Structure 1
Amino acid sequence: MAVPKRKTSKSKTASRKVHNMKKPVYRASKSESGAPALPHRVCPSTGQYNGRHVISVEVSD
């Protein structure tokens, strides 16, 4: 089994672990409503996808 000859420095450990961080969720703004929404999914505020009305959305006052 391999055993390290030298102690790994903090900067070497950090540079190796920097790619393990969680990526931010990408949200595109819709041109119709301006509300943020995930790409390739139905807009939760308008109920539209690709310019077509797909689901009915209840309006809360």
Structure 2
Amino acid sequence: MATPKFKMSRANTRTRRAAWKADNVQLQEVKIDGQTVRIPRRLVKAAQLGLVDVEEF
């Protein structure tokens, strides 16, 4: 595990934190009940099993 060797200034800490960005979720085209929908990959199996309502995507 990385450990800090020197104290980091408040400005540097906040700049580093502000620069972080989350990536957009990749969508996958899936055919469910004859309808093609684009949903996140992690929800594909749940959508095929009918556990997730696909119309909200």
- TM-score by length of structure 2 reads 0.36
More helix by share: 2
Q: Rg bigger for which structure?
A: 1
Larger relative contact order (C-alpha < 8 A, sep ≥ 6)? 2
- TM-score by length of structure 1 reads 0.35
